[in-house]
Chains A and B, each alone.
Chain A
Amino acid sequence: GAVVSQHPSWVICKSGTSVKIECRSLDFQATTMFWYRQFPKQSLMLMATSNEGSKATYEQGVEKDKFLINHASLTLSTLTVTSAHPEDSSFYICSAYGQGGETQYFGPGTRLLVL
Chain B
Amino acid sequence: AQSVAQPEDQVNVAEGNPLTVKCTYSVSGNPYLFWYVQYPNRGLQFLLKYITGDNLVKGSYGFEAEFNKSQTSFHLKKPSALVSDSALYFCAVTLGNQFYFGTGTSLTVIP
Identify the A interface with B (CB < 8 A).
1, 4, 6, 32, 34, 41-44, 46, 49, 91, 93, 95, 102-109, 111
Is B70 close to A, CB under 8 A? no
Is there an interface contact between A108 and B102, defined as CB atoms closer than 8 Å? no
**For the complex, is B28 an interface residue (Cβ under 8 Å from A)?**
no
Contact with A along B19-58 (1 / 0, CB 8 A): 0000000000000101010000111111001010000000
* Nearest B-chain residue to A104, judged by Cβ: B99
By a CB distance below 8 angstroms, the chain B residues around A34 are: 99
Q: In the docked arrangement, what's the CA distance between A114 and B44, Å?
A: 23
How many residues of chain B are within 8 Å of chain A by beta carbon?
A: 22
| Distance A4 CA – B41 CA, assembled complex (angstroms) | 16
Residues of chain B contacted by A1 (CB below 8 angstroms): 46
Please measure, in the bound complex, the distance between the C-alpha atom of A88 and the C-alpha atom of B45, giving whole angstroms. 24
Closest partner residue, chain B, to A110 (CB atom) = B43
Query: What is the distance, in angstroms, from B1's C-beta to the closest C-beta of chain A?
Result: 14
Known: A41-B106, A42-B104, A43-B90. A109 touches B41 (CB 8 A): yes
- For B103, the chain A residues whose CB sits under 8 A away are 42-43
